Amino acid sequence: MSSLFSGEQIAGVLDELGITHVVTVPDSTIGQWQSAIEDRGRARLVRVCREGESWEVAAGLYLAGARPIVMIQCTGLFESGDAIRNVLHDWKLPIFAIIGYRSYLNQETLPGDTCLVFTEPILDAWRIDYRLLTEPTQLAAIAEHHRACASEGKPGAIVVAEGKA
């Protein structure tokens, strides 16, 4: 399996959490989940053009009563800086994200990928409480961490180890 989790598993978790909108730019791993999410018909995919948009679109959705999630690659996390600062820290909105961690499981496509250097320090810098998932057995951690963050009214993220770009 080229992804730790199948689209059906992810769609099931989103359903369990009552997610209404998935605001996303795909990569080759999280992009595989799109059709299962759409097939399930519960959460709507909102396709944006760059990841900075995703946090602000999610903010608008949240303010207006929806339950959004951001789903992007770690490269998109790097792209998102000012929007994260604004949404999570200026406006203090508890937006949750699922972030694909490029090259974590292997670096065949991009040897020496600097995503491995910067992803976790950037999450720490933005004070995002994240859980890194590296095994297929850790699926339940997504809902657990989402619930924990929601109950505290704070943002959070799940970082899913990926094998390729």
The set of long-range contacts for 87-92, using a CB threshold of 8 Å and a minimum separation of 24, is 87/55, 87/56, 87/58, 87/59, 88/55, 88/126, 88/127, 88/128, 88/155, 89/126, 89/127, 91/59
Min dist. Cβ of residue 164 to another protein (A): 25
Stretch that binds another protein, among 1-9, 90-98, 104-112, 117-125 (CB under 8 A): 90-98
Contact 37, 8 (CB under 8 A): no
19 belongs to the binding site for another protein (CB under 8 A):
no
One residue of 52, 76, 155, 156 binding another protein per CB under 8 A? 52
- 91 or 108: CB nearest another protein: 91
**C-beta of residue 115 within 8 angstroms of C-beta of residue 101:** yes
Minimum CB separation of residue 163 from another protein in Å reads 28
Give yes or no for residue 64 binding another protein (CB under 8 A). Answer: yes
Range in contact with another protein (rule: CB under 8 A) among 7-15, 54-62, 130-138, 155-163: 54-62
Q: How many binding residues for another protein (CB under 8 A)?
A: 34
Q: Where would I find the H helices in the chain? A: 7-16, 34-40, 51-63, 74-79, 81-84, 115-125, 140-152
Q: Which residues bind another protein (CB under 8 A)?
A: 20-21, 23, 44, 46-50, 52-66, 68, 82-83, 85-87, 90-93
